[in-house]
C-alpha cells in the first residue's frame, strides 16, 4: 500500500516504458503503489491531467502554477478556484518560492504563492508547496495565508530538520523524494529519522530525481517504493509500516482523494482509524 504523492504524469519520459503512461502505472501497481497524485505546474495543463485522471481511477490531480513557470497572465484567486473546481482537483499547487533560479522575480513569486494559498483556504484544499532556498519567506506566507486546519505539504523537501519542525507546527506534512537516498543527503536522512512518521509523505517527483539504485534514469512512480525503503532503513522499521503510515497520512491530508482509493484499501484505513467511517 504505497502512494506516490507527487508525480508529473503528463511529463513521462519517452525512455520510460516507451512513453506509455498505462505501462508505467501498471509497473507501479505491481510494486503495490495504489494511488498517484498528478501535479500541475500550469493551469493550462490541468485539462490534460484531468483526462489522465478520467482514464485511471487511482489518479487524482492538483491545480496550480509552479513558482518558476513563466506566464503571460498571472491567474487570480478566482481563476485558480474555478480551475480546481472544474477539473476536480484534490489539491492546489504546486506553488511556492524558489530562489535558486531567477527566471521569475521574487516579488512575482510572492504574489503568486499568496494567491494560491488564498485559493486553497477558500476551497479548503491542501496546498502542495515547492520551496527552495526561501525558508523564511515560505513560512511567513504560510503563516499569513494558510488555514492550519487544512494545511498542505512541503514537497520534495530539501531543507533542514528545523524547517521541517516549523512546517509541522503550522499543520503541514513533509514529503521526501528520491533525494533522501543520495549519498550526499545525510541532513535529509536526519529528517527521515526524526520527523514524526505520522507527518511524512513519500513521492517520486517523477520524471525527475530518480532514487538510488536508479540514478541517471528518468524517474517513474514505481520507484516511490525505494524512497519508502530508505526511510524504513533509517528508522529501523519495516517498509510495510512506512507504506501503511504514509498512505494513511496521504488520505488524511487529501480527503477528497479517498473515493479514488480501492474499496479494500479504504476499508482497511477506516478499520485502522486513519480515515472517517463515512
Chain position carrying cell 533522501? 180
d(CA 30, CA 272) in angstroms, rounded, equals 24
The CA-atom distances, in angstroms, between 214 and each of 38, 222, 223, 227 are 21, 11, 8, 11
Question: What is the model's pLDDT at position 83?
Answer: 98
| 38-67 pLDDT per residue, tens | 999 999 999 999 999 999 999 999 999 999
Of 172, 27, 197, 162, which Cα lies nearest the Cα of 96? 172
Cβ neighbours around 69 below 10 Å, total: 18
**DSSP 3-state assignment of 130?**
strand
Can you read off the three cell numbers belonging to residue 151? 494545511
Helix or strand holding residue 127 (H, E): strand 127-132
pLDDT tens for 145-184 read 999 999 999 999 999 999 999 999 999 999 999 999 999 9
For domain 2-271, say whether CATH 3.20.20.140 is its number: yes
List of the chain residues with pLDDT < 70: 259-270, 272-278
Amino acid at each position: 500500500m504505497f502512494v506516490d504523492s507527487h508525480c508529473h504524469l503528463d511529463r513521462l519520459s519517452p525512455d520510460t516504458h516507451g512513453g506509455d503512461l498505462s505501462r508505467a502505472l501498471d509497473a507501479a501497481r505491481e510494486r503495490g503503489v495504489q494511488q498517484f497524485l498528478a501535479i500541475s505546474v500550469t493551469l493550462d495543463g490541468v485539462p490534460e491531467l484531468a483526462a489522465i485522471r478520467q482514464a485511471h481511477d487511482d489518479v487524482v490531480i492538483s491545480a496550480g502554477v509552479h513558482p518558476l513557470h513563466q506566464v503571460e497572465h498571472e491567474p487570480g484567486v478566482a481563476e485558480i478556484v474555478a480551475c480546481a473546481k472544474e477539473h476536480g482537483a484534490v489539491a492546489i499547487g504546486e506553488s511556492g518560492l524558489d530562489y535558486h533560479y531567477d527566471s521569475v522575480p521574487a516579488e512575482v513569486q510572492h504574489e503568486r504563492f499568496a494567491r494560491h494559498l488564498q485559493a486553497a483556504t477558500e476551497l479548503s484544499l491542501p496546498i502542495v508547496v515547492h520551496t527552495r532556498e526561501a525558508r523564511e519567506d515560505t513560512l511567513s506566507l504560510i503563516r499569513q495565508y494558510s488555514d492550519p486546519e487544512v494545511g498542505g505539504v512541503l514537497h520534495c523537501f530539501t531543507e533542514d530538520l528545523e524547517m521541517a519542525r516549523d512546517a509541522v507546527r503550522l499543520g503541514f506534512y513533509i514529503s521526501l523524494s528520491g533525494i533522501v537516498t543520495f549519498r550526499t543527503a545525510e541532513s535529509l536522512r536526519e529528517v527521515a529519522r526524526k520527523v514524526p512518521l505520522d507527518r511524512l509523505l513519500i513521492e517520486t517527483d517523477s520524471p525527475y530525481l530518480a532514487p538510488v539504485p536508479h540514478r541517471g534514469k528518468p524517474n517513474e512512480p514505481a520507484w516511490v517504493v525505494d524512497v519508502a525503503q530508505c526511510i524504513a532503513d533509517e528508522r529501523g522499521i519495516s517498509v510495510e509500516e512506512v507504506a501503511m503510515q504514509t498512505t494513511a497520512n496521504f488520505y488524511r491530508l487529501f480527503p477528497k482523494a479517498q473515493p479514488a482509493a480501492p474499496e479494500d484499501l479504504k476499508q482497511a484505513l477506516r478499520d485502522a482509524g486513519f480515515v472517517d467511517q463515512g
